[in-house]
């Protein structure tokens, strides 16, 4: 049995294509205990996600966390689950389809787009194999994490590298490491906020909350903290906000270790006690709404704020499938496509080249 995965069927003359893998974190298949146990087991065993020594962590994970946590997580997922499935998956699938449509208008050359998750379905393997089967010999890997972090961006990259280790015919690969300060991304965030303010009005304060990571990661060389603050600063400048009108914080602590501060829950609790009139929260680190934004930020956050004396609380949805975000994705991809796009490409010329190649191949049969 070969160590390498089987290559897709190929015929001489098949046109070579460019492929895009849109990579995201992942989601359980269903909002129930069994699906959550499977998903969390896959997610939390990743060394990028949890860096505790393996023996100790495996004891904690398999004999405590995966016994008790799936049921409570399933209850939370049921609160945000849609008739079409997980919000993250629904939004990511829409992004994939809309991006392909956008690229087809921008470039004559055919570009394929596939969605792959670091954990759960559709898997990274499925996305990679789809592109390989369409003869994509050049692939751009696009993790939808604006700010680079080892536990998100690098973990997604790992899932692709593992596939390449067992690939005989390895395609050219380009990776988008981050886009935390890309003008198109900042403009998309700005439009998202301004469109929301047209309906709700400008708040007393705008909270920019990012997913948290352990504080020690910062000192170990992870640039995530700095990139989050740069995104926040650029967005505030784009919105012409004063320092007193916005605040950057971090959510989703796990365990007893110190994480990046200030903590979201403490910030909104204090603002509630200060009788803040109205508060808007945006999560610039998420391209799609998910459990973390819809349940933790929109539901739990609102309860904390109101229970502590706050007046009005609103969550500004993620970029999801808004047209300005799809266009921004296209702009982010554009610089990475340089050198791969043939400006003289045409279907007629491609068909001529394919016919010639097939004719030449017949001589060797």
Residue spans per domain, the chain: 17-180+323-346, 183-316
For residues 258-269, give the mean pLDDT. 96
pLDDT of residue 167: 96
Identical fold for domains 17-180+323-346 and 183-316, yes or no, is yes
- Per the prediction, the chain carries an average pLDDT of 94
> Which range has the worst mean pLDDT, 12-16, 29-33, 54-58, 248-252?
12-16
The CA-atom distances, in angstroms, between 74 and each of 18, 35, 141, 156, 361 are 38, 8, 31, 24, 56
Position of tokens 């910062």?
218
pLDDT of residue 10: 80
Q: What is the token pair recorded at 65?
A: 């966390």
For the stretch 304-359, pLDDT in tens is 999 999 999 999 999 999 999 999 999 999 989 999 998 888 888 888 787 887 77
Q: Is 188 left (phi over 0), alpha (psi -120 to 50) or beta?
A: alpha
Give a three-class secondary structure readout of the chain: CCCCCCCCCCCCCCCCEEEEEEEEEEECCCCCHHHHHHHHHHHHCCCCCCCCCHHHHHHHHHHHHHHHHHHHHHHHHHHHCECCECHHHHHHHHHHHHHHHHHHHHCCCCEEEEEEEEEECCEHHHHHHHHHHCCEEEEEEEECCCCCCHHHHHHHHHHHHHHHHCCCCCCEEEECCCCCCCHHHHHHHHHHHHHHHHHHCCCCEEEEEEECCEHHHHHCCCCHHHHHHHHHHHHHHHCCCCHHHEEEEEECCCCCCCECCCEHHHHHHHHHHCCCCEEEEECCCCCCCCHHHHHHHHHHHHHHHHHCCCCEEEEECCCCCCHHHHHHHHHHHHHHHCCCCCCCCCHHHHHHHHHHHHHHHHCCC
Considering the four listed CATH numbers 3.40.630.30, 3.40.50.1400, 3.40.50.2300, 2.60.40.1260, the one that applies to the domain covering 183-316 is 3.40.50.1400
pLDDT of residue 131: 97
Has residue 364 got a pLDDT over 70?
no
pLDDT of residue 355: 80
pLDDT of residue 12: 77
For the stretch 66-89, pLDDT in tens is 999 999 999 999 999 999 999 999
Cis peptide before 262 (omega within 30 of 0): yes
Instruction: Please give the span between the terminal C-alpha atoms of the chain, in angstroms, as a whole number.
Output: 27
Percent of the chain exceeding pLDDT 90 equals 87
For the stretch 75-131, pLDDT in tens is 999 999 999 999 999 999 999 999 999 999 999 999 999 999 999 999 999 999 999
Has residue 286 got a pLDDT over 90?
yes
For the stretch 186-216, pLDDT in tens is 999 999 999 999 999 999 999 999 999 999 9
pLDDT of residue 15: 85
Looking at per-residue pLDDT, the higher value among 343 and 223 belongs to 223
Considering the four listed CATH numbers 3.40.50.1400, 3.90.660.20, 3.90.1300.10, 3.40.50.300, the one that applies to the domain covering 17-180+323-346 is 3.40.50.1400
Percent of the chain exceeding pLDDT 70 equals 99
Predicted model pTM:
0.94
CA distance 171 to 257: 41
pLDDT of residue 253: 84
**Pairing mode of beta strands 246-251, 278-282:** unpaired
For residues 168-185, give the mean pLDDT. 97
Has residue 296 got a pLDDT over 70?
yes
pLDDT of residue 117: 96
């Amino acid at each position: 049995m070969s160590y390498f995965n089987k290559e897709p069927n190929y015929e001489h003359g098949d046109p070579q294509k460019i492929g895009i893998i849109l990579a995201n974190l992942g989601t359980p298949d269903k909002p129930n205990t069994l699906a959550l146990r499977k998903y969390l087991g896959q997610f939390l065993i990743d060394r990028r996600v949890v860096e505790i020594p393996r023996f100790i962590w495996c004891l904690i994970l398999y004999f405590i966390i995966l016994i008790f946590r799936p049921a409570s997580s399933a209850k939370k997922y049921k609160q945000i689950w849609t008739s079409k499935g997980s919000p993250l998956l629904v939004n990511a699938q829409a992004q994939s389809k809309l991006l392909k449509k956008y690229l087809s208008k921008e470039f004559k050359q055919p570009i394929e787009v596939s969605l792959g998750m670091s954990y759960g379905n559709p898997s990274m393997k499925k996305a990679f194999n789809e592109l390989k089967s369409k003869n994509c010999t050049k692939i751009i890997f696009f993790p939808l994490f604006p700010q680079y972090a080892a536990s998100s961006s690098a973990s997604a990259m790992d899932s692709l590298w593992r596939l390449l280790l067992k690939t005989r015919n390895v395609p050219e690969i380009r990776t988008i490491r981050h886009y935390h300060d890309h003008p198109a991304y900042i403009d998309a965030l700005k439009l998202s906020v301004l469109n929301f303010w047209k309906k709700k009005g400008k708040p007393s304060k705008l909270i920019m909350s990012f997913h948290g990571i352990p504080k020690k990661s910062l000192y170990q060389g992870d640039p995530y903290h700095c990139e989050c603050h740069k995104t926040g600063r650029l967005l505030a400048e784009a919105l012409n906000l004063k320092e007193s009108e916005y605040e950057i914080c971090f959510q989703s602590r796990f365990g007893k270790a110190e994480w990046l501060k200030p903590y979201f829950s403490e910030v909104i609790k204090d603002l509630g006690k200060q009788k803040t009139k109205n508060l808007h929260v945006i999560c610039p680190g998420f391209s799609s709404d998910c459990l973390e934004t819809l349940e933790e930020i929109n539901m739990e956050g609102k309860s904390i704020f109101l229970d502590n004396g706050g007046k009005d609380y609103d969550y500004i949805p993620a970029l999801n499938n808004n047209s300005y975000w799809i266009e921004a994705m296209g702009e982010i991809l554009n610089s990475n496509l340089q050198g791969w796009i043939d400006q003289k490409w045409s279907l007629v010329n491609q068909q001529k080249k394919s016919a010639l190649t097939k004719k030449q191949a017949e001589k060797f049969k």
